[in-house]
Amino acid sequence: MSQLILEISKLSVADRIRLIQEILNTISDETSKGELTEAQLKEIENRSQSIKSGAAKTTSWDTIEEQLRQRYDL
Torsion (CA) 42, 47, 29, 24 in degrees, nearest 10:
-140
What pLDDT is stored for residue 35 in this prediction? Answer: 77
Average pLDDT value over all residues in the chain: 88
Q: Is the pLDDT of residue 31 over 80?
A: no
Mean pLDDT of 9-13: 92
Instruction: Compute how many other C-beta atoms are within 10 angstroms of the C-beta atom of residue 8.
Output: 14
Q: How confident is the model at residue 19 (pLDDT cuts 50, 70, 90)?
A: very high
What pLDDT is stored for residue 37 in this prediction? Answer: 84
pLDDT for 56-66, tens place per residue? 999 999 999 99
